[in-house]
Amino acid sequence: MNHNARLQQQYESLGVCKEVYDFGVRIEEGLKERFAALDQTAEFNQAKVLRAMQEARVSAECFQATSGYGYNDLGRDTLEAVYAKCFRGEDALVRPQITCGTHALALALLSNLRPGDELLSPVGKPYDTLEEVIGIRPSKGSLAEYRISYRQVDLLADGSLDYEGIRQAINEKTKLATIQRSKGYASRPTLSVAQIGELVAFIKRIKPDVICMVDNCYGEFVEDKEPLEVGADLIVGSLIKNPGGGLAPIGGYLAGKKECVEHAAYRLTSPGLGKEVGASLGVIQSFYQGLFLAPSVVNGALKGAIFAANLYESLGFDVLPNGSESRHDIIQAVTFRDPRAMTAFCQGIQAAAPVDAYVTPEPWAMPGYDSDVIMAAGAFVQGSSIELSADGPLKPPYTAFFQGGLTWHHAKFGIFMSLQKLYEQNLVNRDLIC
């Protein structure tokens, strides 16, 4: 028995029928050149991370845990120097005390805005969980409660930036522009680093003192540049997404202008304390090692996203980005226009997981969202979006957002299983597969 036959047999033992397997292999064959280009970007970013670690003089002593106040924590302080060097910032704040990406964003906003200031979103509606942070949906401790106003400029019908609308929206109160790089749960293109640079330059020409903050979640190491390199003042993200490499068990980061980072540090801890306190609590080695692995892990996730786009596009589903577009984050949206198909897709992703594969995901009222959400996430770290996962609000047009995969081969298997579930329930055109 040759290798291909043995591999197909292995997939069959995991629940993937021959028809689905053969169809997926045909899609993969057409992506070899595309995948080779991704490997080059990953190699560039791997060298970038390695150089940052060497320049910061990372040593074995950096992996020692601290407790209590965490004064003079060598590992913590060195890691923040690594992040600053890697992302080309003046300073960075990288802490396990930052619980998630939304927390990191709230920290950046609440620390750099003051009563009477105005927050501007020039890229349309923000990610759902930020609505309560801003006060679009009332919540305790929101920016609105601190008399910080909010203004939004929606994207144009074709998904491009409304530069004239942005020009008119900027006023004497505008203090910070929040630029969400990834699409989140919106049907819009993800912004490239080049587009972010153009937007930042446009805003700065109108009002130079506006802080341009980029929500960098899902975008780290996808390109060979990061937003700070094109003029952004601050980038923010979660360690259980791209930069944690699947090893960080918790945490978030901010990097950029020293003053912006200092403000966030004083908000995270206390006025007068700032970055001086905050123990690393035994997780610091996973932060270092996760960052070191992140370029390769992101590369695998990107291959999975591109594979999913091409596979489902060939079956007639709407996908964003499409199968040939350039990539600027790890998220792949697939629109099913049928709640049964969306549910089957997510159940297939769950069935491919190394953890909780026997669990059947169902829609539920997830905190921070305005509708039921279905989530497939059989992850080693709860909620880790760099691990294989799929989720989305169960409402029209029934779009699932697929992301992650610590390895390309696991992401590939997840897509196989998602299609298998649709195939079994006759929710896909079988003639296109066979």
Each residue's pLDDT tens digit, 287-311: 999 999 999 999 999 999 999 999 9
- C-beta of residue 26 within 8 angstroms of C-beta of residue 314: no
pLDDT of residue 250: 98
* Amino acid, single-letter form, for residue 226: E
The pLDDT-based confidence of 2 (bands split at 50, 70, 90) is confident
Which pTM value belongs to this model? 0.95
CA atoms within 13 A on the CB side of 57: 3
Q: How confident is the model at residue 334 (pLDDT cuts 50, 70, 90)?
A: very high
Residue 139 burial (C-beta neighbours within 10 Å; 0-12, 13-18, 19+): middle
Average pLDDT, the chain: 95
Cβ atoms 239, 99 nearer than 8 A: no
Average pLDDT for residues 235-260, to the nearest whole number?
98
Q: Starting from the edge strand earliest in sequence, which strands make up the sheet with 252-256, in order? A: 91-95, 252-256, 234-238, 211-215, 174-180, 118-121, 149-152
Lowest mean pLDDT among 56-60, 68-72, 325-329, 360-364: 360-364
Checking DSSP bridges between strand 118-121 and strand 174-180, what pairing results, if any? parallel
Domains and CATH numbers, the chain: 3-44+292-433 (3.90.1150.60), 64-282 (3.40.640.10)
- pLDDT mean over 82-89: 98
Record the tokens describing residue 316, joined without a space: 């007639």
Structure tokens, 367: 């905190």
Provide the b/e sequence for 234-267 (b: ≥16 CB within 10 Å).
bbbbbbbbbbbbbbbbbbbbbbbbeebbbbbbeb
- Give the pLDDT confidence of 220-243 residue by residue, as tens digits: 999 999 999 999 999 999 999 999
Chain centroid to CA 108: how far?
17
Residue at token pair 């169960």: 394
Whether the pLDDT of residue 415 is over 80: the answer is: yes
Q: What is the pLDDT of residues 264-287, one digit of tens each?
A: 999 999 999 999 999 999 999 999
pLDDT at 150: 98
Residue 363: the pLDDT is: 86
Q: How many CB atoms lie within 10 A of CB 393?
A: 20
User: In angstroms, rounded to a whole number, what is the distance separating the alpha carbons of residues 220 and 227?
Assistant: 9
- CB atoms under 10 Å from CB of 272, counted, come to 7
- Taking only the tens place, the pLDDT of each residue in 180-207 is 999 877 778 899 999 999 999 999 999 9
Name the percent of the chain lying above pLDDT 70: 99
pLDDT > 80? residue 3: yes
Which of the four pLDDT bands, split at 50, 70 and 90, describes residue 368?
A: low
Helix (H) or strand (E) holding 183: none
Q: Which two tokens stand for residue 271?
A: 């006025």
The residues that bridge with 284 in the sheet, in sequence order, are none
Over residues 34-78, the pLDDT tens digits come to 999 999 999 999 999 999 999 999 999 999 999 999 999 999 999
Report yes or no: 186 and 129 within 8 Å, Cβ to Cβ.
no
Query: In whole angstroms, what is the distance from residue 311 CA to residue 316 CA?
Result: 9
